[in-house]
Amino acid sequence: MSDCNSVSGTPEIAYPVLLKGAGSIRFGNKVKIGVELSPGFYSGYGYIEARNPESSIEIGNNVRLNNGFSMVALQKITVGDNVLVGLNFVVSDSDFHHLKPSERFHQNPPSEQVSIGNNVFIGSDVTVLKGVTIGDNSVVGSNSVVTKNVPDNVIVAGNPARIIREL
């Protein structure tokens, strides 16, 4: 069912994953998708979509993606090295529809790149919205919705996510 023709790298796949879209998807070294001893292992799949020809998703080295995640890019999503991601993670670089009612079905919805730094730990059930940069070494608490940039070396949590403390 995967149809993305521009995939580079060879992740270790322990969990079903769909690679979709007309853009490019790049995996670094030692990327692992899925965790056998984690909820949802037998009942879901991961989804990575670089939707348009100019869209890209770049996943760094030594990244671990837990079960039930979704990554969709109209522009670009970058995940740094040594990143740990919990269950049911969602990240996208677009709202996929305009907010103004008269424009909701128009093409080219607003989109802004997303960047997740190195050594980031993202808990379960986290959503990262368009235009967000998560700084190096930071932690995002479970059930958070990240709507704004996160600096390096902090713990954020909540909806919307806010800084809880520095590391």
The residues that are catalytic are 97
How far, in Å, CA of 129 to CA of 93, rounded? 6
Contact call for residues 23 and 55 (beta carbons, < 8 A): yes
Residues 157, 160, 165: CA angle, nearest 5 degrees: 35
Task: Look up residue 73 and give its amino acid.
Answer: A
Whole-angstrom Cα distance, residue 87 to residue 5?
Answer: 27
Q: In what order do the strands lie in the sheet with 161-166?
A: 12-13, 32-33, 64-65, 84-85, 121-122, 139-140, 154-158, 161-166
Alpha-carbon dihedral of residues 73, 77, 79, 80, nearest 10 degrees?
Answer: 160
